[in-house]
Amino acid sequence: MKRTLVPVIFGITITLIFAFLAATRFLPFQRLEFLLYDMAYQVRGKAAPPGEVIILGVDDRDIEKMGRWPWGRDTLASVIRAVAAMGPRVIVSDIILSEPSRGDDAVADAIKETGNLVLPIVFRFKGEKRRVEDDTFLNNAFTTVRNPDRLKLFTPITAGNVLLPLEKLSSGASALGHINMFPDKDGVLRWEVMAVEYDGEIYPSIDLQAARLFLGLPPQAMKLLATEGIDLGGKTIPTDPWGRSLIRYYGPERTFPYITVSDIMEGKVKPGAVKDKIVILGVTAVGVYDLRVTPASPAMPGVEKHANVIASILHNNFAVKADNLINLLVVLISGVAFSLFIARLRALPGALLSLAFLAVLFLTSYFLFFQKGVWIALSFPGNNILVIYLVVTAYRYATEERFAKRIRNMFSSYVTEKIVNELIRNPDLAKLGGERREITVLFSDIKDFTTFCEQNAPEEVVTRLNEYLGEMTQVVLSWDGTVDKFVGDMIVAFWGAPLPQEDHAVLAVKCALNMVKRLGELQEKWAREGEAVLDAGIGLNTGDMIVGNIGAEGKKMEYTVIGDNVNLGSRVEGLTRKYNARIIITESTLDHIRPALEAGRIWGLKVKGLEEVVVKGRTRPAAVYELVSLKKGEESVIIECEKRDAVYLTEK
């Protein structure tokens, strides 16, 4: 329980911290949010733009053909007339005409003749404030402002000065609109300021005016909804309290169709290319430096920004930032859910889960933004997921490394590396305290070892004993047994702990048979070397035993088995001398291996019933059986004990 509870507590605590950061709009994460926002555009690439907007660019080739920029007013008048002759519904000029010049009358006449041209104005926010008494300019302000109860919350960007086109030019224009652009602090243009306040009036952007004219709406149909948006003939354009709208870019530069002024003047453009469309006239030549950094492009001509905004207005293709409460809920829900899952996983599965959560967050945000027009903040929930993963993984690493070291120190001398690793991967399988389990225990003792010690030097005894114990231990481990202890020349091993083993009795019996086989090989070796030959007896018993750490806590502990059935196993091993047998098992062990014998999973084994005995320290009789290996290919056979009175034994 603690193993998962602590990581969950860590995860929820970190989630609450990130929820607080999201609620207070922590600035570093807000900047990261902009990067994620921009990345979504890079992932999407180019989307098909609507066909109502055409860009008429003054590019480097036009300047080469028609002279250096800025062109004379007579040339500009000719361009306006040439474009108007092709039948566009609206012409938008992105060229400031604020200073008098020769040819102004020609331009003024051309503007009046077209009857559908929108001229730009530029607001200034620094320097001395001044009022403008220009009726044409004043007539382009919003005529209707709704939501008067929200006016205190409505804080549009306020200008102190304005740069207007020449009055003789603006008087013939269909509308005036500002072309001010306000990049974020990182220099990226993400917002369109739909409305700017100046001298107590609020003025629309040139893109808003162009869309109104294209839709054939009068100025009165354009209503400002304070803090909410702009009503354009029943179409609502969402804005924030500052009168800004998120720009939904259709793609990088050159996403919208371009035509050049020189091609228009040379008659290379068919009238159908611009008829009944919005034509935006602006400079795209690289040397003029009218380039903007946008989420979709690091160098987009300013004129194409206008195309994106106008197209978005016409098709209601705007997005809004999700309410802060929604972003807060995303952090809380994703963080708590991730904490509950990650608490049960290790580092690699946890990393995959983290990537899955991040992918779901990103894809959900991507879908909501590009399909539903809602910008969900990703920086807070995304970083929350990463921090939870790192903290939980670090905690797991620290605690599980310590636990793994403890497990390895505890069991590496008893069991195989395979079992140790399994215990580390699944620590719940090894309860380090005592518990009752069904276990098969094996005792093996060298016969006549006392005599051997008397007849040989101590060094020889130790060398021979180490060789024997080493070989027998290897056999036990190869059959996934746990080496309990060495008591002088005695080996104690068991199966069924620390890992549960359903076939523990079968494994123990096969181990005993292989111990006898390996001992036979050692005996042949010793005989060839002229050394004394050792022999051993093996006893096995199966039953409930207590297994766990036994000893003085903090001083000396042993992972071992105790109980009546352990004692019986020891007594059964002693019977190998009485019956002159290599391996003796109890009836309980036979009952556990009987299905394997009958199913043919143990071949070449003779199980011979000896008799029922009552060993020292017990009152109940136990039937004992001798195990003998048959020749290769012979089927196993069981000879039951004869029914007769139990034999009482007082010796070991």
Place of tokens 């939870």: 388
User: Taking residues 301-324, what's their average pLDDT?
Assistant: 91
User: Taking residues 334-350, what's their average pLDDT?
Assistant: 87
User: Taking residues 378-391, what's their average pLDDT?
Assistant: 92
Mean pLDDT of all residues belonging to the chain = 87
Least confident of 81-90, 148-157, 583-592, 606-615: 148-157
Q: Among candidates 405, 250, 380, 266, which has minimal Cα distance to 314?
A: 250
Q: Among candidates 338, 362, 364, 363, which has minimal Cα distance to 351?
A: 338
Is 70 exceeded by the pLDDT of residue 383? Answer: yes
CB 169 within 8 A of CB 104: yes
DSSP structural state of residue 586: E
CB 553 within 8 A of CB 537: no
φ, ψ (nearest 5 deg) of residue 205: -80, 160
Q: What is the dihedral angle through the alpha carbons of 204, 205, 210, 213, rounded to the nearest 10 degrees? A: 0
pLDDT attached to residue 406: 61
Provide the β-strand partners of residue 282. 57
Pairing of strands 647-648, 605-614: parallel
Q: Model confidence over 366-379: pLDDT tens digits?
A: 888 888 888 888 89
Instruction: Report the C-alpha gap between 296 and 192 in whole angstroms.
Output: 15
pLDDT attached to residue 308: 95
pLDDT attached to residue 343: 84
User: Taking residues 90-100, what's their average pLDDT?
Assistant: 93
Task: Report the Cα–Cα distance between both ends of the chain, in Å, rounded.
Answer: 46
pLDDT attached to residue 373: 84
Q: Among candidates 465, 577, 486, 583, which has minimal Cα distance to 531?
A: 465
More confident residue, 213 or 126: 213
More confident residue, 283 or 410: 283
pLDDT attached to residue 410: 55
User: In 415-481, which ranges are continuous DSSP H helix?
Assistant: 417-425, 449-455, 458-478
Q: Binning pLDDT at 50, 70 and 90, where does residue 26 land? A: confident
Strands in 49-172 per DSSP E: 53-58, 90-93, 117-124, 144-146, 157-159, 161-163
φ, ψ (nearest 5 deg) of residue 592: -80, -30
Q: pTM of the entire structure?
A: 0.65
pLDDT attached to residue 616: 82
> Based on the number of CB atoms within 10 Å of its own CB, is 171 exposed (0-12), middle (13-18) or buried (19 or more)?
middle
pLDDT attached to residue 92: 96
Token pair listed for 323 = 């309410």
Q: Per the omega criterion (within 30 degrees of 0), is the bond before 295 cis?
A: no
pLDDT attached to residue 139: 92
> Based on the number of CB atoms within 10 Å of its own CB, is 75 exposed (0-12), middle (13-18) or buried (19 or more)?
middle
Strands in 243-305 per DSSP E: 244-246, 258-260, 278-283, 291-294, 297-301
- Crossing angle of the two packed helices 27-44 and 379-411, in degrees rounded to 10: 100
pLDDT attached to residue 626: 94
CB 282 within 8 A of CB 302: yes
pLDDT attached to residue 395: 85
pLDDT attached to residue 338: 92
pLDDT attached to residue 431: 53
Instruction: Report the C-alpha gap between 58 and 81 in whole angstroms.
Output: 16
Place of tokens 């320290």: 617
φ, ψ (nearest 5 deg) of residue 514: -75, -30
pLDDT attached to residue 636: 85
In 573-585, which positions are buried (b, 16+ CB within 10 angstroms) versus exposed (e)? bbbbeeeebbbbb
pLDDT attached to residue 67: 87
Print the SS3 string covering 35-83: HHHHHHHHHHCCCCCCCCEEEEEECHHHHHHHCCCCCCHHHHHHHHHHH
Q: Model confidence over 554-593: pLDDT tens digits?
A: 566 677 889 999 999 999 999 999 999 999 999 999 999 9
User: In 315-372, which ranges are continuous DSSP H helix?
Assistant: 324-342, 347-367
pLDDT attached to residue 630: 84
Is 60 exceeded by the pLDDT of residue 415? Answer: no
Q: Binning pLDDT at 50, 70 and 90, where does residue 318 land? A: confident
Structural element, H or E, at residue 229: strand 229-232
Q: Model confidence over 105-132: pLDDT tens digits?
A: 999 999 999 999 999 999 998 877 888 8
Token pair listed for 292 = 């903007």
Q: Model confidence over 253-278: pLDDT tens digits?
A: 999 999 999 999 999 999 889 999 99
**Is the dihedral angle over the CA atoms 131, 136, 139, 142 positive or is it negative?**
negative
pLDDT attached to residue 149: 67
pLDDT attached to residue 557: 63
pLDDT attached to residue 193: 94
Least confident of 399-408, 435-444, 608-617: 399-408
Is 80 exceeded by the pLDDT of residue 151? Answer: no
Is 80 exceeded by the pLDDT of residue 483? Answer: yes
Q: Among candidates 451, 450, 448, 414, which has minimal Cα distance to 430?
A: 414
Q: What percent of the chain has pLDDT over 70?
A: 92
